[in-house]
A and B are shown apart, each in its own frame.
Chain A
Amino acid sequence: KQEVTQIPAALSVPEGENLVLNCSFTDSAIYNLQWFRQDPGKGLTSLLLIQSSQREQTSGRLNASLDKSSGRSTLYIAASQPGDSATYLCAVYTGANSKLTFGKGITLSVRP
Chain B
Amino acid sequence: NAGVTQTPKFQVLKTGQSMTLQCAQDMNHEYMSWYRQDPGMGLRLIHYSVGAGITDQGEVPNGYNVSRSTTEDFPLRLLSAAPSQTSVYFCASSPKIPYEQYFGPGTRLTVT
**A31 to B33 CA separation, bound complex (whole angstroms):** 18
When C-beta atoms are compared, the residue in chain B nearest to A102 turns out to be B43
**Do A34 and B97 touch (CB < 8 A)?**
no
**Do B106 and A99 touch (CB < 8 A)?**
no
Given A99-B59, A100-B45, A103-B42, decide whether A43 and B104 contact each other with a Cβ distance below 8 A: yes
**Do A43 and B97 touch (CB < 8 A)?**
no
Chain B CB within 8 A of A64 CB? no
B89-112 with Cβ < 8 A to chain A = 90, 92, 97-98, 100-106
Chain A CB within 8 A of B48 CB? yes
Interface centre among B101, B102, B105, B106 (most CB of A within 10 A): B101
Given A99-B45, A105-B42, decide whether A46 and B106 contact each other with a Cβ distance below 8 A: no
A interface bracket (residues with beta carbon within 8 Å of B): 20 to 34
B98 CB contact (under 8 Å) in A93, A103, A104:
A93
A43 CB contact (under 8 Å) in B40, B41, B90:
B90
- Return A34 CB to nearest CB of chain B, in Å: 6
**Do B50 and A98 touch (CB < 8 A)?**
yes
B48 CB contact (under 8 Å) in A32, A49, A98, A104:
A98
- Return A76 CB to nearest CB of chain B, in Å: 20
Chain B CB within 8 A of A61 CB? no
**Do A45 and B103 touch (CB < 8 A)?**
yes
**Do B42 and A42 touch (CB < 8 A)?**
no
Chain B CB within 8 A of A20 CB? no
**A81 to B47 CA separation, bound complex (whole angstroms):** 37
**A4 to B40 CA separation, bound complex (whole angstroms):** 13
Seen from chain B, the residues whose Cβ lies within 8 Å of a Cβ on chain A are: 4, 31, 33, 40-43, 45, 48, 50, 56, 58-59, 90, 92, 97-98, 100-106
Name 26 interchain pairs, CB-CB below 8 A, sorted by A: A34-B100, A36-B103, A42-B106, A43-B103, A43-B104, A43-B105, A44-B90, A44-B92, A44-B103, A46-B101, A46-B102, A46-B103, A49-B100, A89-B42, A93-B97, A93-B98, A98-B31, A98-B48, A98-B50, A98-B97, A99-B45, A100-B98, A100-B101, A104-B40, A104-B41, A104-B42
